[in-house]
C-alpha cells in the first residue's frame, strides 16, 4: 500500500483501528506515539501483509500499543509477552511476530522470558520502550531506573544498579540489537525496519520520555525538554568506540550494537527436525 | 469386531495418545515430577507428525506459549504437577477471559509447596475450580484407568474446543505412572470436536459476539480476521471496557456458556445405589479402590453402592442428591484433607450420615481401608 504520494498522516490513519474509541491512554507528549509512528511507517514501507502480523504485548503504558493498531493483536499478561509470542511464532512461523514492551514488563517480571527468547534466537522483533520507570502504576523504580534517580518507590534515590537491555540481549544470544531514542526519529525508523527484516531475535531498545512521572520526579522538564536531553546525552556507536568508559557514564550509545546473520533461527532448526522425522 | 491394536502404556503416555488423537499439534511444558513423561512423549511424537514441541523456561512461559499457539488455530497442551499448576494460575485466568481453548494435565502429587514430589495426592481438586482470581466457570475431569486417561483427554479437548475454555485433566502420581494394556482407538472410534470458525465477513466479524450458546466462533491469527485479544474485560469486539453493562455481559458469558450446558459436561459412573445402605463417592485413582471395595462388600451381602465422578467441575449436585436418596450413609474418599466432601455436604439430605476416608500421607487409599470404614458404619 506504500505510495510515494501518501501523506505521512494518512499512513498513520490507515493502520489505526477505526472502531476503537480514541484518545489513547497515553499522556500528551508521550514518546510511545513516536515509536508507534516509526513502527507503522516501517511496516508500511516493507509492504507486509497486515494479516500476517501478530503484535504481542504485556502490561504497561507501552503494552497498550497493539490495541490501537490494525493487526492481529495479543495484549497479554504482565511480563509474559515474549512467552506468548514464542507460542504464536512457533505455532505459525509464517507470521511476523512483533513484541512491544516496556522496561518493567520486559526486564523485571519478564526478565526470564527475555533472556530465553534471546537465547533461542527465535524470529521475533522486540521493541522495548525504555522510559526508566513504571508509568501506568505511577512512577515506581524499574530495572532501568538509573542509580540515585527518584521514583515513588525510591523517594530518597535509587540504591540499585540498572540493566543495559542491549548488553543483556547480546550476551543472552539475540542476533540483532540496536538502540535508538524518540528524539532521533529517522534513525529509529531505520533500525526498526532493519530489525523487522532481520531473521532471528531482534531487539530495538528505544530511550523514551515519561515526563509525567520520571521527568517530573527528577526535574527533567516537560516532553520537549526530555527529548532535548536525549539529544544531548546520545552518542553514536562510532563515536563511543573512541571514548573512555567514564565518559560514557549516563550517556545513551545509539545505533546498531550487534548483528549476527550466521546464527541459526529456532523455528528453522525445528523444521529440519520435523522434515527428518516425518521422513 | 476386528481386534484393536493394543499397547502397554502409562497414564501419562495414554494422555499423550489421547491428545494426538484429538488433533493436538502443539505442546509447551517444563519438566516436573510426576508429569514429565507427557512432555517426553510429546517431544518424541510431535515432530513425526509435523507438530511442535517446545520446552519453555518455566511453567508460566509454557502455558503462555500454548495460549499463543491456540490463538493461531492449533490444539495445544501442557502437562504439569502442583507447583507448576500454581504458577500457571494467572495464565489460566487469561485463557478464561480470552476464551482460548487449551488443555492442562495436572498429575497431582502431595502438597503444599514442593510437598511429596514422587507421591500421590488429590489436593488440587479445589484449585482446579478456584485457582485463578476473579469470577469464572471451570471444567475439570478425572480419569481412573490408563484407558480413560486416553479417552478423557480426548473429552478434555472436545470440551475445550466446544466451549472455548481451558480444561484441566486431573491425574495423580499413581494414575500417571501406572501401566495398563489399553486398546488404541482408530479414526472414527471417538468424536473429535473442532472449534467453530467464523463465517461472517471481515467487516461484520465480532471476535466475542454474543451467540445463542454464548460461544463465539473463533478466528485464527493469519485467517484475515484481524482482532484484539486482551485479558482486560472487553466488549464483543475485543476492546477493553469499563462499562458496567459490558462487564456484566462478559462475565455472564464466561459463566453461563458452561452453566447452561452442564448436563452435557457431567459424566459419572453410578453403581448399585438403588438399594445401597452405604454409597462411596470418589474420583480418579480412588475410584478403583471404591469399586473393588463395593464388589467385595456386595459378595459378603452388604448393600454398598458407588458414585464415581469423571467430571469434577462443574459439580453435579443434582446427581449426588438423587443417587444418595435411598442410602443411609455416604463415604467420600479422597486423597486430601477434605475437598469434594464439602460439595457433597452442600446437597446431602441432613438425615444421611456423611463419612470420609482421607489420606494425605502420599499413599493411595486401598480397598481394605474402605472396607474397614464400611465395617465401622454398617
Mark residue A29 as left, alpha or beta (left: phi above 0; alpha: psi -120 to 50; beta: remaining).
Answer: left
Top residue of B222, B224, B225, B235 to mutate, by most chain A CBs within 10 Å, is B222
Question: What is the pLDDT averaged over residues B308-325?
Answer: 98
Question: What is the pLDDT averaged over residues A101-118?
Answer: 98
CB-closest option in B221, B224, B228 to A67: B228
pLDDT of residue B367: 98
Chain A CB contacts of B240 below 8 Å: 67
**CB-based contact B228 A75, cutoff 8 Å:** yes
CB-closest option in A66, A76, A91 to B52: A91
Question: What is the pLDDT averaged over residues A115-123?
Answer: 98
> Given the C-alpha cell 475485543, which residue does it identify?
B238
- Which residue in chain B has the smallest CA separation from A276? B48
Strand, coil or helix: A113? helix
Distant-in-sequence, close-in-space partners of B214: CB < 8 Å, separation ≥ 6: B253, B256, B257, B260
Does residue A18 belong to the interface with chain B, where contact is any CB pair within 8 Å? no
**Cα distance between residue A53 and residue B340, in whole Å:** 46
Pairing of strands A252-259, B6-10: unpaired
Q: Rounded to 10 degrees, what is the CA torsion of A259, B53, B161, B167?
A: -110
Residue B267 has φ and ψ, to the nearest 5°, of -150, 130
Predicted confidence (pLDDT) at residue B137 exceeds the cutoff of 60: yes
Instruction: Give residue-wise pLDDT tens across range A165-198.
Output: 999 999 999 999 999 999 999 999 999 999 999 9
Instruction: Give residue-wise pLDDT tens across range B322-353.
Output: 999 999 999 999 999 999 999 999 999 999 99
Domains and CATH numbers, chain B: 6-183 (3.40.50.970), 268-377 (3.40.50.920)
What is the interface pTM, i.e. ipTM, of the complex? 0.97
Predicted confidence (pLDDT) at residue B2 exceeds the cutoff of 70: no
Q: Omega into B34 within 30° of 0, i.e. cis?
A: yes
**CB-based contact A77 B90, cutoff 8 Å:** yes
B289 min Cα distance to partner chain A (Å): 41
Question: What is the pLDDT averaged over residues B146-165?
Answer: 98
Q: What is the pTM of this model?
A: 0.97
CB-closest option in A88, A270, A278 to B68: A88
A238 min Cα distance to partner chain B (Å): 36
pLDDT of residue B78: 98
B96 min Cα distance to partner chain A (Å): 13
A226 versus A17: the higher-pLDDT residue is A226
A250 min Cα distance to partner chain B (Å): 33
Does residue A67 belong to the interface with chain B, where contact is any CB pair within 8 Å? yes
**Cα distance between residue A81 and residue A83, in whole Å:** 5
Predicted confidence (pLDDT) at residue A1 exceeds the cutoff of 50: no
As a CATH number, domain A26-278 is 3.40.50.970
- Which residue in chain A has the smallest CA separation from B28? A87
**C-beta separation of B158 from B103 below 8 A:** no
Distant-in-sequence, close-in-space partners of A86: CB < 8 Å, separation ≥ 6: A113, A117, A120, A122, A124, B54, B56, B61, B64, B65, B68
Mark residue B276 as left, alpha or beta (left: phi above 0; alpha: psi -120 to 50; beta: remaining).
Answer: beta
CB-closest option in B60, B69, B223 to A90: B69
Q: How far from chain centre, in Å, is Cα A61? A: 12
Chain B CB contacts of A56 below 8 Å: 68
**C-beta separation of B47 from B53 below 8 A:** yes
Amino acid at each position: 500500500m506504500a505510495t510515494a504520494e501518501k501523506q505521512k498522516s494518512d499512513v498513520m490513519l490507515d493502520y489505526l483501528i477505526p472502531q476503537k474509541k480514541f484518545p489513547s491512554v497515553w499522556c500528551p507528549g508521550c514518546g510511545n506515539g513516536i515509536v508507534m509512528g516509526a513502527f507503522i511507517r516501517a511496516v508500511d514501507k516493507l509492504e507486509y501483509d497486515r494479516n500476517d502480523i501478530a503484535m504481542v504485548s504485556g502490561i504497561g503504558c507501552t503494552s497498550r500499543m497493539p490495541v490501537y493498531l490494525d493487526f492481529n493483536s495479543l495484549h497479554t499478561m504482565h511480563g509474559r509477552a515474549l512467552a506468548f509470542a514464542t507460542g504464536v511464532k512457533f505455532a505459525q512461523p509464517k507470521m511476523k511476530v512483533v513484541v512491544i514492551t516496556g522496561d518493567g514488563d520486559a526486564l523485571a517480571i519478564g526478565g526470564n522470558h527475555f533472556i530465553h527468547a534471546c537465547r533461542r534466537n527465535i524470529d521475533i522483533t522486540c521493541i522495548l520502550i525504555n522510559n526508566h520507570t513504571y508509568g501506568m502504576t505511577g512512577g515506581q523504580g524499574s530495572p532501568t531506573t538509573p542509580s540515585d534517580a527518584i521514583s515513588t518507590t525510591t523517594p530518597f534515590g535509587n540504591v540499585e544498579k540498572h540493566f543495559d537491555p542491549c548488553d543483556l540481549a547480546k550476551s543472552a544470544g539475540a542476533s540483532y540489537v540496536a538502540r535508538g531514542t524518540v528524539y532521533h526519529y529517522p534513525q529509529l525508523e531505520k533500525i526498526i525496519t532493519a530489525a523487522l527484516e532481520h531473521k532471528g531475535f531482534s531487539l530495538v531498545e528505544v530511550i523514551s520520555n515519561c515526563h509525567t512521572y520520571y521527568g517530573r520526579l527528577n526535574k527533567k522538564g516537560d516532553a520537549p525538554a526530555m527529548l532535548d536531553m536525549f539529544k544531548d546525552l546520545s552518542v553514536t556507536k562510532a563515536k563511543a568506540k573512541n571514548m573512555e568508559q567514564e565518559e560514557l557514564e549516563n550517556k545513551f550509545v545509539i545505533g546498531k550494537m550487534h548483528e549476527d546473520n550466521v546464527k541459526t533461527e529456532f523455528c528453522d532448526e525445528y523444521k529440519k527436525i520435523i522434515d527428518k522425522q516425518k521422513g | 469386531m476386528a481386534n484393536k491394536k493394543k499397547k502397554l502404556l502409562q497414564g501419562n503416555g495414554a494422555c499423550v495418545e489421547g491428545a494426538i488423537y484429538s488433533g493436538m499439534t502443539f505442546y509447551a511444558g517444563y519438566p516436573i515430577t510426576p508429569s514429565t513423561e507427557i512432555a517426553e512423549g510429546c517431544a518424541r511424537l510431535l515432530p513425526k507428525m509435523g507438530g511442535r514441541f517446545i520446552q519453555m523456561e518455566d511453567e508460566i512461559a509454557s502455558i503462555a506459549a500454548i495460549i499463543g499457539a491456540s490463538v493461531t488455530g492449533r490444539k495445544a497442551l501442557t502437562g504439569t504437577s502442583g507447583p507448576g499448576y500454581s504458577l500457571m494460575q494467572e495464565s489460566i485466568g487469561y485463557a478464561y477471559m480470552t476464551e482460548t481453548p487449551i488443555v492442562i494435565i495436572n498429575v497431582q502429587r502431595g502438597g503444599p509447596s514442593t510437598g511429596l514430589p514422587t507421591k500421590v495426592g488429590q489436593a488440587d481438586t479445589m484449585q482446579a475450580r478456584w485457582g485463578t482470581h476473579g469470577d469464572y466457570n471451570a471444567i475439570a475431569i478425572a480419569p481412573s484407568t490408563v484407558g480413560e486417561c486416553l479417552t478423557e483427554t480426548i473429552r478434555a479437548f472436545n470440551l475445550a474446543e466446544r466451549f472455548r475454555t481451558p480444561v484441566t485433566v486431573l491425574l495423580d502420581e499413581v494414575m500417571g505412572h501406572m501401566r495398563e494394556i489399553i486398546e488404541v482407538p482408530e479414526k472414527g472410534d471417538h468424536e473429535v470436536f473442532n472449534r467453530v470458525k467464523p463465517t461472517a465477513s471481515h467487516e461484520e466479524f465480532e471476535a466475542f459476539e454474543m451467540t445463542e450458546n454464548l460461544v463465539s466462533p473463533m478466528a485464527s491469527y493469519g485467517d484475515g480476521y484481524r482482532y484484539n485479544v486482551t485479558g482486560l474485560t472487553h466488549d464483543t469486539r475485543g476492546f477493553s471496557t469499563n462499562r458496567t453493562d459490558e462487564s456484566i455481559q462478559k462475565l455472564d458469558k464466561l459463566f453461563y456458556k458452561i452453566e447452561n450446558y452442564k448436563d452435557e459436561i457431567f459424566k459419572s459412573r453410578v453403581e448399585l445405589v438403588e438399594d445401597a445402605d452405604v454409597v462411596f463417592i470418589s474420583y480418579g485413582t480412588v475410584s478403583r479402590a471404591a469399586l473393588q471395595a463395593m464388589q467385595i462388600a456386595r459378595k459378603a451381602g452388604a448393600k454398598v453402592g458407588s458414585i464415581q465422578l469423571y467430571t469434577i467441575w462443574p459439580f453435579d449436585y443434582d446427581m449426588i442428591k438423587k443417587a444418595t436418596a435411598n442410602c443411609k450413609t455416604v463415604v467420600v474418599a479422597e486423597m486430601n484433607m477434605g475437598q469434594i466432601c464439602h460439595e457433597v455436604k452442600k446437597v446431602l439430605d441432613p438425615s444421611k450420615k456423611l463419612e470420609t476416608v482421607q489420606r494425605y500421607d502420599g499413599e493411595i487409599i486401598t480397598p481394605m481401608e474402605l472396607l474397614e470404614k464400611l465395617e465401622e458404619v454398617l
